[in-house]
């Protein structure tokens, strides 16, 4: 396939999927009903959730400096903060373009070579992925009885066992294929896995590794807490079990990769997660839209300010002292 067509598809498909999911979501709940939920919401909890989200982004900007210091780059915190917010805002337009822009901002204003800046962002994503996998593992352990009971209720136990055995066998064959094959796919997968391992190990080689680990855990702790406190904004979601919060958070996190900034996919992912706990669709969907809208509003405000103020901030810094 032509490279230009591939690039176009990478841009257009998430946008089209997002538009379709917005249409689908609003076909399941009327705009009038959705507005009622927004009007009845307790905005104290929504603002608190936005504040926790803000703290996570500030922590991410501060953590980034730990990765750059060993390479000899002591970047200004202001540039780091604005680059992070600009990343999130740009990702609403073109998927993953924000990461490229973030590395470019460092190159333009701090003199960090693009490949080095981008490399730290990749390593950062690896650390985030490891924490996300840990949250999934902890959720599975804490909710083992619920998940087991749900599967037994919905599916035949014998079929579940057969599926697990087949899954394990397929994983073993897949790993053997990746290890021995010289095909392009196998090489890409090997490179990806090796990158994960190398990125994870590189964290422990940092001068400020414990500070980096603390901020990584803090970032994700704020993400979960942000999701949790916002659930108190609606009367119908105030008493949902924490298990629903965790599974809803995981589903919503993955939905962000499906469309630009999770548009359309974010509320629908929450609906699917909450249905496991027999939580009605309308309040679940309304909660999803409130969560997405509040965090998106924060990104638009701070991301917009960052893009405007970046050149002004750096022009001031470059002026010689009198």
User: Would you state the pLDDT for residue 151?
Assistant: 63
Quick check: is 292 in a domain?
yes
Quick check: is 143 in a domain?
yes
Quick check: is 322 in a domain?
no
| Nearest alpha-carbon partner for 272 in 244, 296, 304 | 244
User: Would you state the pLDDT for residue 42?
Assistant: 94
Quick check: is 77 in a domain?
yes
Neighbours of 308 (CB within 10 A): 11
Handedness of CA 48, 51, 53, 56 (dihedral sign): negative
Query: What number of CA atoms fall less than 13 Å from residue 300's CA on the CB side?
Result: 8
Query: What number of CA atoms fall less than 13 Å from residue 174's CA on the CB side?
Result: 9
| Nearest alpha-carbon partner for 123 in 56, 188, 216, 210 | 216
Q: Give, for all 322 residues of the chain, the pLDDT tens digit.
A: 566 777 776 777 877 888 888 898 888 888 899 999 999 999 999 999 999 999 999 999 999 988 888 778 888 999 999 999 999 998 888 777 888 888 899 889 988 888 888 888 888 888 888 888 888 888 888 777 766 666 666 666 676 677 778 888 888 887 777 777 777 777 777 776 765 566 556 666 677 888 888 999 999 999 999 999 999 999 999 989 888 899 999 999 988 888 888 888 999 999 999 988 889 999 999 999 999 999 999 999 999 999 999 999 888 665 444 3
CB distance 237 to 287 below 8 Å: yes
Quick check: is 257 in a domain?
yes
Quote the number of domains for the chain.
1
Quick check: is 158 in a domain?
yes
| Nearest alpha-carbon partner for 268 in 293, 287, 294, 296 | 287
Distances in Å between the Cα of 203 and the Cα atoms of 28, 61, 92 are 45, 16, 29
Q: Record the tokens describing residue 221, joined without a space.
A: 């702790």
Q: What is the 8-class DSSP label of residue 44?
A: H
Quick check: is 208 in a domain?
yes
| Nearest alpha-carbon partner for 74 in 122, 112, 113, 118 | 112
Residue by residue, DSSP assigns 141-174 as: HHTHHHHHHHHHHHS-HHHHHHHHHHHHHHHHHH
Quick check: is 215 in a domain?
yes
In terms of residue numbers, what domain contains 66?
17-313
Query: What number of CA atoms fall less than 13 Å from residue 251's CA on the CB side?
Result: 20
Neighbours of 145 (CB within 10 A): 8
Q: Record the tokens describing residue 264, joined without a space.
A: 């359309």
* Length of the chain, in residues: 322
Distances in Å between the Cα of 90 and the Cα atoms of 221, 257, 306 are 24, 14, 11
């Amino acid at each position: 396939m032509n490279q230009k067509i591939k690039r176009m598809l990478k841009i257009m498909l998430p946008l089209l999927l997002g538009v379709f999911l917005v249409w689908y979501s609003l076909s399941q709940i009327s705009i009038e009903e959705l507005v009622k939920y927004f009007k009845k919401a307790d905005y104290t909890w929504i603002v608190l959730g936005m504040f926790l989200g803000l703290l996570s982004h500030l922590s991410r900007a501060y953590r980034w400096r730990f990765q750059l210091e060993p390479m000899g780059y002591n970047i200004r915190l202001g540039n780091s903060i604005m680059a992070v917010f600009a990343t999130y805002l740009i990702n609403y337009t073109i998927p993953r373009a924000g990461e490229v822009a973030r590395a470019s901002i460092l190159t333009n204003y701090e003199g960090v070579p693009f490949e080095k800046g981008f490399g730290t962002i990749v390593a950062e994503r690896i650390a985030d992925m490891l924490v996300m996998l840990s949250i999934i593992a902890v959720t599975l352990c804490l909710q083992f009885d619920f998940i087991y009971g749900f599967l037994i209720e919905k599916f035949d136990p014998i079929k579940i066992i057969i599926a697990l055995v087949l899954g394990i066998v397929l994983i073993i064959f897949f790993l053997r294929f990746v290890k021995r094959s010289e095909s392009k796919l196998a090489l890409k997968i090997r490179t990806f896995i090796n990158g994960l391992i190398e990125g994870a190990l590189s964290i422990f080689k940092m001068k400020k590794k414990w500070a980096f680990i603390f901020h990584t855990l803090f970032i994700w702790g704020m993400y979960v807490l942000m999701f949790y406190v916002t659930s108190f904004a609606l009367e119908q979601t105030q008493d949902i079990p924490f298990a629903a919060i965790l599974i809803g958070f995981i589903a919503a996190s993955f939905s962000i990769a499906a469309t630009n900034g999770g548009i359309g996919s974010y509320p629908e992912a929450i609906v699917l997660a909450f249905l496991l706990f027999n939580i009605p669709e309308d309040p679940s969907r309304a909660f999803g839209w409130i969560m997405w809208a509040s965090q998106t509003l924060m990104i638009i405000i701070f991301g917009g300010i960052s893009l405007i103020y970046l050149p002004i901030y750096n022009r001031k810094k470059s002026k010689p002292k009198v």
